Amino acid sequence: MADIIQLLPDHVANQIAAGEVVQRPASVVKELLENAIDAGASSIKLIIKESGKTLIQVVDDGIGMSPTDARLSFERHATSKIKSAQDLFQLNTKGFRGEALASIAAIAHVEMQTRQGAEELGTAIKIEGSKIISQDVVATPAGTSIAVKNLFFNIPARRNFLKSNQVELRHITDQFHRVALAHPQVSFQFYNNGSELFNLAVATYRKRIVNIFGSRSNEKLVPVEEETQVVKISGFICKPEFAKKSRGEQFFFVNNRFIKSPYLYHAVVNAFEGIIKPDTYPGYFLYLEVDPSSIDINIHPTKTEIKFDDEQTLYAILRSTIKHSLGQFNIAPVLDFEKDPNLDTPYAYKNLNAPLPKVAVDARFNPFNTGHPSAAPKSFTKKSVKGWEEMYVGLAAASNSGEEMGESDFESETITSSIFEGMKEAEASTVTTLQLRRKYVVSTIKSGLLLIHQNRAHQRILYEKFLRTITIKETTSQQLLFPLSLSFSSTDMSILHNISEQLRCLGFVFEEKENYTLEISGVPALIPENEVGIVLDQLISDYQHEVPEDSFSQTDVLAKALCKTLAVKTGDILDSNSQLVLLNDLFGCKEPGVSPFNKPTYNTISESEIDKKFI
């Protein structure tokens, strides 16, 4: 039988390796930025066109390369970071496998210009699909410039799997954030299609976070600092009240390398236990410094996962450090033993207002009319005590008589609800619906019982109302007495700019100011003033995950995001009037059976099903 095993050609092997290294344009950005950091650059410029599909260019002022190194850098397993297997246990650099440039050159058109600082002239190399087209001597600034064009030009199937430009740009921005946050001592510039997205000067860690995520993030940050023999921890955590419903601002850095660690994430969540809501996620920017020999960073192709020698100790130190910071800066709740619990307002009356006291005046009162009972002189003469022994006559007979006992008046406890408006009226009204477990609204129908999921039903009602408002463009805006000024990051501001027309159709009145600030002077009537920031943050988060391409999809995502945020939640108490309104509004919708997220809003239980339960 003939031999069937053969060596793969170099260009095929490079394309296979590229599948591990280059998954999308963001992978190329990560490799090139990390190479620039390893080259000792103090200033890095990232230029993107069409979200990296047409051009990805990284320009740095690092040490540069000689003509021989420039040519050799595109070979497989060519690296300057390690020389022996022992070096793998003392890594302080980013890329070390030596396959990044070789993999990128196998699936794109690459142009490199590089010059060492001591040389007068540099080198220019052009490569297409692993084939070197030319290598020339050129005049170029000190450092390296690498331009990657027409990504996946020779693998059409991989190019077809790329998402829309907005999705790919979001992934590139995420990679840019991870590198920029890890190296505040390096200045960065980021351009997309000719427009500047970021211009980050050299700064401290805190200033770098604020420059990326907006000035509003400064008030969120709580410093974290701890140094032990095992690990040195620094950075910031976000205050519990700024916890979000999406995992946005969560960054772990180990020896200035971004990592993902579910184990360490659990330690952070454990430290926040009981302080944030169960369905929210804390934000953090944590920098860990450990001995390079105590970690293994070669367990994943993208190097975003790390194996620690002693994870349990690291878990305990991280958890206690965060708890200490929360307590040190008075973030964690404390018990107040001097507080009188009798002064607390009961939960049932929290949203009710105490009415003003009413003063009754007797208009017939005349102090000179001695015949009026109120004007009669007071008599303080002591009554006769004769016959006191007959006081208890007949008491025993009265105690055995149920009828006489029923007519007696007994002192009762004061009903607290009587001082709140609306409580008596709600109790006196005829109840046609019932709230079950603060989650369902139960009502009777001709065939049996109707169970309505209050959260999903309200989502459907608000969803159709928002869609109608945006489409017809007839809305009412609630003008604010004092305009709100909210700061956002450049990425968040670009999302708000893209959906500005739909927001105005809903009733938002705002104006974009300098430094990525939004001045809001009017909001829709359904949105409380104190929740405007929360609504916009949730809206931006939903857009980052779905990223619609056309205007109809934008309207749909906007309506879904708003209805999810503003709908009544499971656990909210609804009075009888609110239950009836919810019931009527739901069956006035075009599709009352499902929520905007395709989940059932109500269910019915027939009388026959109820009868079967009693057989």
Task: Give the pLDDT confidence of 365-384 residue by residue, as tens digits.
Answer: 776 766 555 555 555 455 55
439 located within any domain: no
pLDDT on residue 223: 94
**Six-digit token pair at 435?**
């709230």
pLDDT given for residue 222 in this prediction? 93
Task: Report residue 154's pLDDT band, with 50, 70 and 90 as the boundaries.
Answer: confident
Which residues, at least 6 apart from 225, have a Cβ–Cβ distance to it below 8 Å?
Answer: 233, 234, 321, 325
Pick the closest to residue 325 from 258, 243, 235 (CA basis).
235
Q: Is the pLDDT of residue 469 over 80?
A: yes
Out of 328, 353, 370, pick the residue that ends a domain: 328
Neighbours of 315 (CB within 10 A): 18
Find the CATH number of the domain harbouring 178: 3.30.565.10
Amino acid type, 431: V
Q: Give the pLDDT of residue 428.
A: 38
| Band of residue 338 on the pLDDT scale cut at 50, 70, 90 | low
> Does residue 423 carry a pLDDT above 50?
no
Same-domain check for residues 120 and 267:
no
Q: Residue 408's pLDDT band (boundaries 50, 70, 90)?
A: very low
**Assigned domain for 324 exists:** yes
Contact call for residues 41 and 184 (beta carbons, < 8 A)? no
Mean pLDDT for the chain overall: 81
Inside any domain, residue 374? no
* pLDDT on residue 235: 95
Domain-located, residue 425:
no
Residue 389 within any structural domain of the chain: no
Whether 485 and 512 map to the same domain: the answer is: yes
- Say if residue 63 is in the same domain as residue 141: yes
Q: Are residues 184 and 324 in the same domain?
A: no
Cα 72 from Cα 547, distance rounded (Å): 41
CA dihedral 200, 202, 206, 208 (to 10 degrees): 20
State which of 202, 224, 253 marks the end of a domain. 202
CB 587: neighbour CB atoms within 10 A? 13
Query: Are 185 and 242 in the same domain?
Result: no
Is 70 exceeded by the pLDDT of residue 336? no
Q: Comparing 221-235, 312-326, 343-357, 588-602, which segment has the lowest mean pLDDT? A: 343-357
Asked which of 288, 310, 328 is the last residue of a domain, the reply is: 328
Which stretch, 33-37, 430-434, 553-557, has highest mean pLDDT? Answer: 33-37
**Which residue has better confidence, 303 or 243?**
243
| Selected residue with higher pLDDT from 47 and 15 | 47
Q: Which amino acid is at 371?
A: G
Residue type, 598: N
Give 76 or 148, the one with higher predicted confidence.
Answer: 148
Q: Which residue range(s) make up the domain with 149? A: 10-202
* 176 plus 274 within the same structural domain: no
246: helix, coil or strand?
Answer: coil
Structural domain contains residue 556: yes
User: Of 436, 443, 510, 515, which Cα lies nearest the Cα of 480?
Assistant: 510
231, 148: one domain:
no
Which is it for strands 55-60 and 43-49: parallel, antiparallel or unpaired? antiparallel
Residue 260 lies in a domain: yes
Q: What is the CATH number of the domain that holds 253?
A: 3.30.230.10
Please tell me the total count of domains within the chain. 3
| CB 180 within 8 Å of CB 45 | no
Confidence of residue 602 (pLDDT cuts 50, 70, 90): very high
pLDDT band at 411 (very low <50, low <70, confident <90, very high): very low
Residue 299 has pLDDT above 70, yes or no: no
Q: What CATH number did the domain enclosing 490 receive?
A: 3.30.1370.100
In a domain, 112, yes or no: yes
Residues 180 and 258 in one domain: no
Residues 198 and 51 placed together within one structural domain of the fold: yes
Q: Are residues 22 and 170 in the same domain?
A: yes
pLDDT classification of 192: cutoffs 50, 70, 90: very high
Whole-prediction pTM: 0.69
Percentage, residues of the chain above pLDDT 70: 77
Structure letter (DSSP) for residue 10: H
Q: Is the predicted pLDDT of residue 389 greater than 80, yes or no?
A: no
Shared domain check, 224 and 157: no
Closest CA to 318 of 357, 288, 363, 342: 288
- Among the listed residues 119, 110, 99, 102, the one whose alpha carbon sits nearest the alpha carbon of residue 58: 110
473 vs 125, higher pLDDT: 125
Whether 59 and 147 map to the same domain: the answer is yes
Check residue 89 and give its pLDDT. 59
Task: Tell me the sheet residues that pair with 308.
Answer: 295
